[in-house]
Amino acid sequence: MNIKHGMILAAGLGKRMQPLTLKTPKPLLEINNITLLERAINLLINHGVQEISINVHYLPDQIQSFINKKKYQAKITISNEEDLLLDTGGGVLKGTQNFGDNPFFVINPDTVWSKGYSEELKSLEISYLKNKNPTLLLVNKKLSIDPSFQGDFNLNNEKITKDDDNQFIFTGLQIINRDILIDEKSKVFSMNKVWNKLIKDKRLQGLESNQKFYHLNTFDMYKKILSLNIID
């Protein structure tokens, strides 16, 4: 495939996962003996991504040590936000400074990424390359194991919209380019701010995932997911 760059968002504090995250950063929690971070890395590398940036803030030395011990077939660099947590948008802008004008994946390791997502990465890239608009992988909230999840967006003919009855959840995977970020005047900003502008301009695309959606947002949800014996 054509997209060779990826960014993994690993700088969160993981407060809702305590006590598990008191001594371990959330991306290093395991499902089926595979860390959440490694699942994200493997998904990108198996797709053909050759350069990955990972932002860190909370317990950054543990993530750096984890990467150092692995022999991944990709160049992996750490974007350190130890002094100032930059939120999702600011973190991506800082962490992708060496990506130039190339489009790249952004992936959130809070989702349990399995091999089943491999084909959806291919489809996401095809969709992006066809229209050259930022493209998000969404899932119908009916496929989430967490019934409390509210929808983030709606999806109509691959165009993302928002209204009072949003049916789709953002999975945590998108393809973007730095040009949608560089006009932000603050170092600290959320991707939600960027998405809202794109929706207003009718430039935000979406692709629907068919995967069951497993997302670690609380300690209780982590225990529930562990009990399900997910097949990778």
Q: Residues 150-166: pLDDT tens digits?
A: 899 999 999 999 998 99
Per the model's pLDDT, the better-predicted residue between 39 and 231 turns out to be 39
pLDDT for 229: 75
> Both tokens of residue 84?
């100032």
Mean pLDDT, range 177-194, rounded to an integer = 92
User: Has residue 142 got a pLDDT over 80?
Assistant: yes
User: 184 pLDDT band (50/70/90 cuts)?
Assistant: confident
Kindly give, in sequence order, each residue whose CB lies less than 8 Å from that of residue 30, ignoring residues fewer than 6 positions away: 36
User: Has residue 25 got a pLDDT over 90?
Assistant: yes
User: 231 pLDDT band (50/70/90 cuts)?
Assistant: low
> Both tokens of residue 43?
């998904």
Pairing of strands 168-176, 135-140: antiparallel
Rounded to whole angstroms, the Cα distance separating 87 from 166 reads: 24
Kindly give, in sequence order, each residue whose CB lies less than 8 Å from that of residue 192, ignoring residues fewer than 6 positions away: 88
Q: How many CA atoms lie within 13 A of 188 on its CB side?
A: 6
pLDDT for 1: 63
Mean pLDDT, range 106-134, rounded to an integer = 96
The CATH fold assigned to 5-227 is Spore Coat Polysaccharide Biosynthesis Protein SpsA; Chain A (3.90.550)
pLDDT for 22: 94
User: Has residue 230 got a pLDDT over 90?
Assistant: no
Average pLDDT in the chain = 94
User: 228 pLDDT band (50/70/90 cuts)?
Assistant: confident
Rounded to whole angstroms, the Cα distance separating 51 from 7 reads: 9
Query: Helix 87-95 to helix 191-200 angle, to the nearest 10 degrees?
Result: 90
With H, G, I as helix, E, B as strand and everything else as coil, classify residue 225. helix
User: Has residue 6 got a pLDDT over 70?
Assistant: yes
Kindly give, in sequence order, each residue whose CB lies less than 8 Å from that of residue 28, ignoring residues fewer than 6 positions away: 35, 36, 37, 62, 63, 66
pLDDT for 20: 87
Rounded to whole angstroms, the Cα distance separating 103 from 91 reads: 16
Bridge partners, 111 (sequence order): 215
> Both tokens of residue 109?
């390791």
CA neighbor of 182 nearest in space, from 57, 94, 87, 51 = 94
Alpha helices of the chain — where are they, by DSSP H? 36-47, 60-69, 87-95, 118-131, 191-200, 219-227
Mean pLDDT, range 78-96, rounded to an integer = 95
> Both tokens of residue 148?
């409390």
User: Has residue 97 got a pLDDT over 80?
Assistant: yes
Give the pLDDT confidence of 62-83 residue by residue, as tens digits: 999 999 999 899 999 999 999 9
pLDDT for 185: 82
Share of the chain above pLDDT 90, in %: 88
Rounded to whole angstroms, the Cα distance separating 226 from 118 reads: 22
User: Has residue 114 got a pLDDT over 90?
Assistant: yes
